[in-house]
Amino acid sequence: MNKTERANWISDQLEKLFPETPIPLDHSDSFTLLIAVLLSAQCTDVRVNTVTPKLFKRANTPKKMIKLSVEEIEDIVRPCGLAPRKARAIHTLSHIILDKHGGLVPESFEELEELPGVGHKTASVVMSQAFGHPAFPVDTHIHRLAQQWELTSGKNVVQTEKDLKRCFDESKWNKLHLQIIFYGREFCKARSCDGLSCRFCEELFPSRVRARKYKKA
């Protein structure tokens, strides 16, 4: 298969495996999703989902969040790691959303990425999952699998995102990035598949004999 054929095959197979793509992070609106994604940096979605109910019970809007002290937020989000940095970012971005955006999460990449603690990946998740704009957030699973499936050189996550956007139709991006994550978590884990073991790797590269070393994000 050439790259286009691989991409089409992958898309078809993922649609069969994961026709439904529920968002892994529990949230109720764009603000709570933004906070949950911010907390997920270097932390599992499962862990985040155990922490956010307590946080959102006290503050599920920017107006309520700024009434908490940074220390109070830090105490709640500590299990997610990097708590001091994340707590300061949550408190500050809540102020900015109130002061600059009328209390609403901004609906543009530029404005989202201006918020503290919000990088391109976080902005991409919010744009795609909260607002429905085409985006292709690249996490560690996607970065790894795109290399194993030879859809990118894996030079960095920026290049991986560009390459994947070229491989797949824009209308599929929002759903497909979740499908790839689900596949990586369930069938092609970093510790159990080296490019030789899972069904996709076997089907796509039947003549591959050497384990692939991928470049980390």
Domain 3-20+136-204 of CATH type 1.10.1670.10: yes
- In tens, the pLDDT along 127-178 reads 999 999 999 999 988 999 999 999 998 889 999 999 999 999 999 999 999 9
pLDDT tens for residues 19-40?
999 999 999 999 999 999 999 9
Q: What pLDDT sits at residue 26?
A: 97
Mean pLDDT of 68-75: 98
Percentage of residues of the chain with pLDDT beyond 70: 100
Which pTM does this prediction carry? 0.93
Confidence of residue 212 (pLDDT cuts 50, 70, 90): confident
Q: List CB contacts of 173: < 8 A, sequence separation 6 or more.
A: 128, 134, 135, 136, 165
pLDDT averaged over the chain?
A: 95
Residue 121 known to be catalytic: yes
Q: What is the pLDDT of residues 77-86, one digit of tens each?
A: 999 999 999 9
Residue of 155, 118, 125, 153 whose CA lies nearest to 139: 125
Q: Is 139 labeled as catalytic in the residue annotation?
A: yes
Q: Which CA distances in Å does 115 have to 36, 42, 108, 112, 146?
A: 14, 19, 11, 6, 29
Better pLDDT: 214 or 13? 13
CATH class in words for 30-130: mainly alpha
Catalytic residue among 26, 45, 139, 194: 139
Provide the pLDDT for residue 196.
80
Q: Where exactly are the structural domains of the chain?
A: 3-20+136-204, 30-130
CB 147 within 8 A of CB 172: no
30-130 matches 3-20+136-204 in CATH topology: no
